[in-house]
Chains A and B, each alone.
Chain A
Amino acid sequence: AAGVIQSPRHLIKEKRETATLKCYPIPRHDTVYWYQQGPGQDPQFLISFYEKMQSDKGSIPDRFSAQQFSDYHSELNMSSLELGDSALYFCASSGGQGRFSGANVLTFGAGSRLTVL
């Protein structure tokens, strides 16, 4: 079965640079989520999109932005990178149970590991 695809898997950037992460959700899933997980931390919710519209916003810094495109893939753009942005970034998708169903299981991608030097 198709899974959530994230790219790149690894990324190394310098401080103050810009990075873009991409996510391809499971086909026919209508919601995409982005999470950030620092070393030894739990995944922190950043932002989500339902049918290409932003649906929830969590602890996403103003330096970050995200969008979902017409083909349902999503991109997380991070600018003015700081050392503290070094983390695993997970994308997840869900769908098929109705928008407001709590039963929508999030399926996670393998993650993109960002290292800021």
Chain B
Amino acid sequence: GQNIDQPTEMTATEGAIVQINCTYQTSGFNGLFWYQQHAGEAPTFLSYNVLDGLEEKGRFSSFLSRSKGYSYLLLKELQMKDSASYLCAPRDSGAGSYQLTFGKGTKLSVIP
């Protein structure tokens, strides 16, 4: 099994930078995903990390430290449309399972 820990809620100002942290424990590790989910809509893929370090993709970057069981999602130049839940999802390859399990998500509110 796995434990995934993220802050429940965060608030940030339009134009600012925000970092959403995620810690996890898995019995086997096969990459970590970040998804964005607006209320009542489907999760959409943001980033994937399998090696340690920073992956940059436009305004969004994601960092991974496998030894620490830690990842963060960095959102720059925040826009109002970034108000959403952000889901951390490590892929646990332990016991032959390759399912993706989501954390409880961080609800980000961007204010003017």
Chain A positions near chain B (C-beta within 8 angstroms): 33, 41-43, 45, 48, 55-56, 58, 88, 90, 99-103, 105-111
Using A42-B87, A55-B98 as known contacts, say yes or no to A105 and B48 having CB atoms under 8 A apart: yes
Select B97's contact among A43, A56, A106, beta carbons within 8 Å: A56
* Residues of B with C-beta under 8 A to A102: 30-31, 48, 50, 91, 93, 98
Query: Inside 8 A of B112's CB, which chain A residues have their CB?
Result: none
Query: Which residues of chain B from 16 to 46 have any CB-CB distance to chain A below 8 Å in the complex?
Result: 30-31, 33, 40-45
Task: Judge whether A42 and B105 touch: CB under 8 Å.
Answer: yes
The 7 tightest CB contacts between A and B, nearest first, are: A102-B31, A102-B30, A108-B42, A56-B99, A42-B102, A42-B104, A102-B91
Q: Report whether B99 and A45 are in contact in the complex, using a CB–CB cutoff of 8 Å.
A: yes
Determine the chain B residues whose CB is within 8 A of the CB of A48 once the complex forms. 99
Give B44 Cβ to nearest chain A Cβ, in Å. 7
Q: Contact at B98–A56, with CB atoms within 8 Å?
A: yes
Cα–Cα, bound, A103→B45 (Å): 12
Residue of B nearest to A35 (CB): B102
- A105-B45, A108-B44, A110-B42 known; A58 and B102 CB under 8 Å? no
What residues on A are CB-neighbors of B30 within 8 Å? 100-102
- Do residues A105 and B33 form an inter-chain contact, with CB atoms below 8 A? yes
Q: A42-B103, A42-B104, A42-B105 are in contact. Are A100 and B93 (CB under 8 A)?
A: yes
On chain A, the residues within 8 Å of B93 by CB distance are: 100, 102
Set of chain A residues within 8 Å of B101, measured between Cβ atoms: 45
**A55 vs B105: C-alpha distance in the bound complex, in angstroms?**
26
